[in-house]
Each structure stands twice: as C-alpha cells, then as structure tokens.
Amino acid sequence: MYTVGLQSAADAFLLSSLTVQVVLALFILFALLVFGHGSSKDDLSAHAPVYLPGSHLLAIAPFFRRRFDFLNEGFRKTGEKLFQFNMLRETVIVVSGESARKAFFANRAFDLTEGFKVLSGAIPMVKGVTSELHTRRIALIHKRLVSLQKNDHLRQLIVPILEDCHRVMDTWGSSGTFDPFEKIYELVFQTTVRSLASQEIADDPALVARLKSLYDILDHGTTPTTVLLPWLPFPSMLRKLLATKEVYDIISRAIDIRLKSGKPQDDTLQMLVDAQDERLVIVGFIMGLLVAGARATGTTASWLITFLGNNLEWKDKAICEIEGLMSTYCLEAAPRASLSSNLASVPLEAWEAETPVLDALIHETLRIAQPHTAMRRNLGPDTVIDTKTIPSGAYIVYPFSDVHLNPELYPDPWKFDPNRKEANTPFGYVGWGGGKTICLGQRLARMELKLITSMMLLRFRYSIVDAKGAQPDLLPRPNWNDILLCRPDKDIYYLAYDKTEVSL
C-alpha cells in the first residue's frame, strides 16, 4: 500500500461531510483570491528585494499559466534585477543578472528538491517514493541513474531504441502530415520508457500510451490551486490523485511480474532488482525519471526536428554526418539491412565523439527552446545577492531566459544558429543545468536525441507547413510560456513528410 501526499486532506475530510468540506474550501479560496496573504511593501527592509505589486493569488496565477510573461513583467514593473512575491505563506524571490546567476548556481544551500516540490507541482507526489525522501535515498537514486548510463548499459539500449523508432515511424505511413509536438513527443516517451522502465511495459504500446495519458493528466492538472492548496477537493486535484495512483500501480505491477517470473531481462528494472533496492526506491526511480526525462528530451527532440524542417543547410550537414558514420562502421552490413540495423552498427563511442554537427544542433536547441525556470529553496542561513537578502526558507527562482535569450550575450537570440559560440561569461550556457545541479541524465538524453534525429532525417524527406499545407511566412518560434513543450503560441505548424528510398 502507498500513501499519496494528501494525507492531511484525507484526515480532514473524514471529520466532516462533503458539503461542509466543499463550502469551507471555497470560502477559504475566495478569501485568499480576494484578500491575498503575505507581506507588503511596508514590511520591506532596505536590504529586502522589492515586492511585485499585488500579493493575492489572482495576481500571481500567471506564474503557473504564462510564466515567461509573468517574470518579464515583474522585472519591468519593479525595475529591479531581483523582486519577490508571496505564495500564501511562502516567499518567492526571482533573480537575474550575472552576479545573481553565479550565486544561484554556486550556493550549496539552495536546494533543488525542495524548490520543485512546492513551485512545480507537476511531478507525481507519492510520500516516500517521489516526495519526502531522505538524503540517503535521493543519493541512491542518483547513483542508480549514473549506473544506468555506463557504457555497457547504453550500448544495450541502442538497438531497442532504434527498433522502437522503426516501429513507431511505421505507424506514420509513407507520407502525410503530423504535429511534431504530438508525434515526436510520443516517440520520445516510448524510447524513454524503454530506457528507464521495463521491457514488459515498453513492449506494450497500449500500456505506454496509457502511461503517457496519465502523465498528461498530471501536467495539465497543475493549477495554482492544486499546487498551493492541494487539500481543496477540486476535480483537477482528484484527477491528479487518481492518475498518480494508476501510474504507481502500473510500475508496481511490473515489479511483481518480474519478481514472480524470476526471468532476468536487460533493462533498467532488472538493474534495480539485482541491486536489491527497496520497492519504494525502484518505483520512485522509474516514476519520477520517466516524466522528467520524457518532458525535457521530448521538448528538445520536437524542436530540433522542427528547426531542421526548413533549414536545408543544417539538415544536409546532419544527414552527411550520419551517412558518414554508417559508411565508416557498417562495412559488413547486408545490402538490404534496415536503416535501424545500419545505425545500430555505429558504436556508442562514435555517437558520442564523432558527431559535432548533431552536438551543435542539440546545444542550440537547448538554448532557444527549453523554457526552464530553475527553482530552489534556501535551506541555509540568510544570504545576500546583489546587496539583497535572501532569507532562510525562501524560494529562489532563476529563469534561463535571463541568459539564453539575452541579446547582449546571444545577438538575435530567437534565431536558430548552431554556429553560435557559447557566451563568454560565468554560466553563460545552462542548457544542461549549472553548478552542482547538472542534469545527471544528459548522456542518455544525448544518445536518444541523436538516434531519433538520425532515423527521422534518413527515413523521411520533410518540411514545415502551416494549417493549409503551405510554406509558412514565419517559421515556428518557441513559446516559453508553454513550460512543457514550448510549442508555438498561436500559429499551427505541421511536418509534411514522404518516406525516402533508404527506408526499409
């Protein structure tokens, strides 16, 4: 049995009728929305960051719905590099600029886990599994993620990832159009399940699709009320609760099947079982990393392939690089071998060390199309950034747009240009994180991105079209207000594709 992080809600509900619960909850919510809570400008000391005007929940709701605009508007309204606002009893401080960036990524007391637990809300929360973890358990999960990306394990993943790509792409047919932010993301979710879960789950397309739909519920059910007032019995919170339960059950059932069968497999679940990890560690590892990996890698893959759609120069460079790898390493490949088989003949070392074009494409895509906002909580003593005090217990937010879309560091920042040089400034590029919080799964993510992109480029001729099937006047531009996929804000774009002759 498991407990989801709504124990206090359950206890409270048992003490009163549903009608009383709902009426009380709505009354409290109304009061919070109208009157707000927290400090005001009158409470400020000379060393406190300036307050964003408006302290009630309605004023900060855009933090969850249009975060990019909300943060930029905050800097504009306050005229400061740092400002703060309240989320009920919690203080949130937004920072920007070089000195703030250095302090943010270097301070060991700024805790990532605590920051995301309160400010994000989209991670499925199960007590003892993905929340309220002891330091030892967090360290063990990180250790397992490192083990997952050792050479032998990554080599074993190349063939099944390429086979997944081949099977999923077969379902697209020989020609047509699709939304890359749906189809490419679905493909990445499949390869992420293959990489981080079990063979039994990954081999069942219907089960993978169900898992994705459950994580979609968690994503789209994240609202200001579900994050700040999780005890409110609103439909969105109940849907999140039920989705979390089903995700847990799917993973737990896969563990039971594996243990009962006693038949080992070459997959991540087997690695965790062989290490004799606790069930909660195994479920937490798969449950948490599935969503984290699929979101970040799915966004990057969708945009990388989209950017190449009408960029013939870089598309040709990438194709030439991939074909060069195959000509070097597929000397004994059968003439009618499948594309996935030929790509699988390229060794891991070559994928990692001999693909400068793919590396540049990934690097630039992460800069322009990953709408990250780093979130931390100060678990140490009060600290100072740019003469402003960051009190102990406060939450700190740093938007990656402060550096990645800064025209002083990256001229014409919205232009997709893989030839760009990285900004010569501390933490001038944080596509994989920075300081003590570098993405631990980046080696696996890079490999997924290279294999998926290679299959797409060699298997299909494709370009970007608008809703009418014509070449668009304006190319797609990432929308940083969409914190999940960064998909274009208003215009609808598709990939129009035809299968190439090398597709077998």
Question: CA nearest 94: which of 75, 68, 113, 69?
Answer: 75
Q: Please enumerate in sequence order all residues whose Cβ is within 8 A of that of 499, keeping only pairs 6 or more positions apart, or say none.
A: 174, 175, 459, 460
Residue 439 assigned ligand-binding role: yes
User: How far apart are the C-alpha atoms of 477 and 139, rounded to whole Å?
Assistant: 38
Angle made by CA atoms 152, 156, 182, in degrees to the nearest 5: 130
> Which tokens sit at 193?
């399940």
Q: Please enumerate in sequence order all residues whose Cβ is within 8 A of that of 443, keeping only pairs 6 or more positions apart, or say none.
A: 149, 154, 352
Query: How are beta strands 50-51 and 83-87 bridged, if at all?
Result: parallel
> Which tokens sit at 484?
């999940």
Cβ atoms of residues 257 and 92 within 8 Å? no
Q: Please enumerate in sequence order all residues whose Cβ is within 8 A of that of 198, keeping only pairs 6 or more positions apart, or say none.
A: 254, 258, 265, 267, 268, 269, 270, 286
* Residue 364 CB burial class (10 angstroms; 0-12, 13-18, ≥19): buried
Annotated binding site: 439
Annotated binding site for heme: 439
